[in-house]
Amino acid sequence: MHWLRGLRHQETTLTRLISVAALTALALAVTFILPPVANSQLAGGAAITIVILGLSWLIGWSGQISLGNSGFMAVGAYAAGIWAHHHDTTPLIFTFALATVIGGLSGLVVAIPSTRLRGPYLAGMTLAFSAAVTPLAQNFSSVTGGEGGIFFNTLTTPAWFQHFFSGADATINANAQWTADLAVVTAGLMFFIMANLFHSRTGRAMRLVRDNDVAAELMGVHLSRTRTIAFVIAASFAGLGGALYSLINATVRPETFPLTLSITLLTLMVLGGIGTLSGAVLGGIVYSFSSNLVSHINSLTGVNPASNLGANMQGIIFGVLLILTMLFAPRGIAGLGIKLVKLRNSRAVLASDENVN
Amino acid sequence: MSSFLTSSFMSNIFGGLAQGVIYSLVALSLVIIWQSTHVLNFAQGAMAMFATYVGMTQIDRGLNYWWCVIISVLVGMAFGGITERVLIRPLYGKPEINPIVVMVGFLGVIEAATTAIWTSTSRNIAAPFSQIYFKADGKLVLLSPFIIFQIILAVVIMMLVAALFRFTRLGLQLRASALAPEVARLLGVRVSRMLTIGWMLSAGVGSIAAVILASGSFGLFPTNMDGVFVAGFIAAAVGGLDSPVGAIAGGLIIGLTEQFVLAYWSPSVAPLGGMIVLVAVLMVRPHGLFTRSVSRRV
């Protein structure tokens, strides 16, 4: 195993590419085993992973607290939805690129006044943004479809993929898995981009701005530009994630992006681990299977899922998890993992010291 | 004169003020907490909503309206004190994101739990004042006995809070612990108790805002304070999070702005009006209108 640890220490773009490709391939293999329902859930989780990657970058690495990423998601989703509704022959990659760019632009609009603000001011400002986006979408109902939203269907499964499936529900199964595979590959690609961003010049500058902005400025880092870049990148990730999420559901509606979505995103990010790449993936996995988890808890505690309490169990559990994580394990699951690895390594060092003696 | 009172301009002023005093109360409650503990309480609206549910549903048991109001405020204050002791106390001295995340989580828990207990159906709380608008020369003036009650109650609460801070021993201790906790502790002020009292006071003021909102045409439902909280935060930020006077002025500014946007453009974009005011103010004065300019310590 020693050569593996050595590989980790000199992490380069190539080693990152190999590990991300391996992880993506593993996830793709899993989609062949999972039932269609689980595949649809996995697709949603992959879209949310992309959003959390951006959020983790913004909050964890640049130190700017945003509650507006559900708003950026809505912007990206509407951009993709409106385009796909009118031009349903456009290649999917173009629709995604459009959502990413428009999402990033909305980030720029919010960042220009917001990067002058600190901490709670910024959090409240971005919260106000995400609260204003959906009413605005409802207001221009001739374009956005108002309350009912827009329906579109662009995720068509190619014929060669259909050949893997047979039986009565072949088309449905093929569609579910194709959607999941597409989402997983997109998430893998965005994970790779973010992994490189974390270790890029901008990423390092970002961390310095977070930890000591005076030192950063002395070293020639342009503060407000760096903070704006952080926002634009996070917003474009959220825009893409939101577009993917809506394309999976084949509809964009205001009620998909309530204020509580920002809370859900924050919970998943904190639960996975603020400012870590693996934390974003863990958050996405938790999101995928949260409904299974909640129904399991409901059956364990004997709560009727159709009752009032059962219907609100998810909100209660997510909120309690967020509070408990922040109070007792503020670095999340990934943080606990890192702690365990460090503990083991220090034990190993101690043991080897004893051997020398 | 009466044609002036019934003009659309004046009716917007009345509507804006009525909404504005609610925002002012929420902003004031946020400022009280911010001054004492430097936490922006994202669950402020939800906590007040929960207290209102506990108090005002006692009407169903035949209790008098005013007793229900008092119960709501007392429940709100107790809730605020417990929240500070249990959730916020372990977080003093931690990075500023920690209390924000905890209170956002608390917001989620309270709203989900309230929906679980009382369902999401909106309720009407019958206040002992008519909601029917006055008339002058056969035309409507957009003022009702309830709106006048709402404005007077809010102003009385604001004056009580101001008097408490300005003229009482407790107010002096509260201000001392906020301004210089170390010195206050040396002089015998029990600072940690003051922080709890600050939270109780703030939650009480917030509960009044929620009670007024629920008694009006808006009704009581689990998310009814969400928009009001956002507007109240904007108001507090416009006025400056350190300034109670700024909070009240900010609330009125935001209330009037939203009312005019609503009247001359569209109801659904009203929240946007407040945001534009906030952006404009923060571009010029990043710490709000009513704070003395502070240089950030390096």
**A184-to-B55, B69, B145, B186, B290 alpha-carbon distances in Å:** 49, 53, 60, 60, 50
Whether the Cβ atoms of residue B44 and residue B205 lie closer than 8 Å to each other? no
What is the nearest CA distance from A122 to chain B, expressed in angstroms? 10
C-alpha to C-alpha distance for B93 and A332, rounded to whole angstroms: 19
Contact pairs from chain A to chain B, CB under 8 Å: 142
Predicted confidence at residue B298, as pLDDT, reads 42
pLDDT computed for residue B292 by the predictor: 65
Confidence (pLDDT) at A79 = 92
Q: What is the mean pLDDT of residues A123-129?
A: 86
Q: In Å, how far are A355, B153, B161, B174, B244 from B166, measured between CA atoms?
A: 71, 20, 9, 10, 12
Instruction: Give me the mean pLDDT over the B17-32 stretch.
Output: 94
Most confident of A24-38, B76-90, B117-131: B76-90
Domain edges within chain B: 2-223
Question: In whole angstroms, what is the distance from residue A102 CA to residue A82 CA?
Answer: 12
Q: Which of B105, B115, B278 sits opposite A312 (nearest CB)?
A: B115
pLDDT in tens, A160-210: 887 777 777 777 788 888 889 999 999 999 999 999 998 888 888 888 888
- Look up tokens 């499964």; give the residue: A157
Which residues fall within 8 angstroms of residue A333, CB to CB, at 6 or more apart? A271, A272, A273, A279, A282
CA-nearest of A223, A263, A273 to A111 is A223
Note the pLDDT tens digit of each residue in A280-332.
999 999 999 888 888 888 888 888 777 888 888 888 888 998 999 999 888 88
Rounded-to-integer distance, Cα B117 and Cα B109, Å: 12
B145 contacts chain A (CB < 8 A): no
pLDDT at position A45 is: 94
Residue B14 near residue B199, CB atoms below 8 Å: no
Which comes out higher in pLDDT, residue A129 or B267? A129
Kindly identify which residue of chain B lies nearest to residue A134, measuring between CA atoms.
B268
CB contact under 8 A, B113 and A312: yes
Count the neighbouring beta carbons within 10 Å of the beta carbon of residue B228: 23
Across the interface, do B116 and A131 touch by the CB < 8 Å criterion? Answer: no
Sign of the four-CA dihedral A189, A193, A199, A203? negative
Please say if the pLDDT value at position B274 is more than 50: yes
CB atoms under 10 Å from CB of A173, counted, come to 19
Under the phi-then-psi rule, with left for phi > 0, alpha for psi from -120 to 50, and beta for the rest, what region is B10? alpha
Over range B37-53, report the average pLDDT: 92
Q: List strand residue ranges (DSSP E) for chain B, in order.
A: 134-136, 139-141
Which of B92, B237, B298, B23 has the alpha carbon at shortest distance from A117?
B237
Question: Is pLDDT above 70 for B295?
Answer: no
Closest CA to A59 of B93, B97, B249: B97
Give contacts of B90 with chain A, Cβ < 8 Å.
327
Q: Which of residues 238-297 of B touch A (CB under 8 A)?
A: 241, 266, 268-272, 274-275, 278-279, 282-283, 286
The torsion defined by the Cα of A314, A320, A322 and A324, in degrees rounded to 10, comes to: -150
**Average pLDDT across chain A, whole number:** 85
For residues A107 and A72, is the Cβ–Cβ distance under 8 A?
A: yes
| Length, in residues, of chain A | 357
Which range is least confidently modeled, A106-120, A214-228, B142-156?
Answer: A106-120
Least confident range of A221-235, A307-321, B56-70: A307-321
Task: Quote the ipTM score.
Answer: 0.85
How far is A127 from A259, CA to CA, in rounded Å?
A: 8
Chain A residues with CB-CB distance to B87 below 8 A:
323, 327
Distance CA B268, CA B259 (A): 11
Spatial distance between the Cα atoms of A21 and A5, rounded to a whole number of angstroms:
19
User: Within 10 Å of residue A304's Cβ, how many Cβ atoms?
Assistant: 11
Q: What is the dihedral of CA A90, A94, A99, A105, to 10 degrees?
A: -130
Integer Cα distance of B294 and B163 in angstroms: 26
Of the pLDDT bands very low, low, confident and very high (cuts 50, 70, 90), residue A58 is very high
Mutate to test the interface with B, among A316, A317, A324, A328 (most CBs of B within 10 A): A316
Would you kindly state where each structural domain of chain A is located, as residue ranges?
A: 2-258
In sequence order, the 6+-apart residues with CB closer than 8 A to the CB of A24 are: A184, A185, A187, A188
pLDDT in tens, B216-262: 888 899 888 988 999 999 999 898 888 889 999 999 999 999 999 98
From A286's Cα to the closest Cα of chain B, the distance in A is 17
Which residue, among B97, B221, B291, would best test binding to A if mutated, counting the most A CBs under 10 Å from its CB?
A: B97
pLDDT at A1: 46
Across B76-82, average pLDDT: 96
Range among A58-62, B1-5, B291-295 rated most confident = A58-62
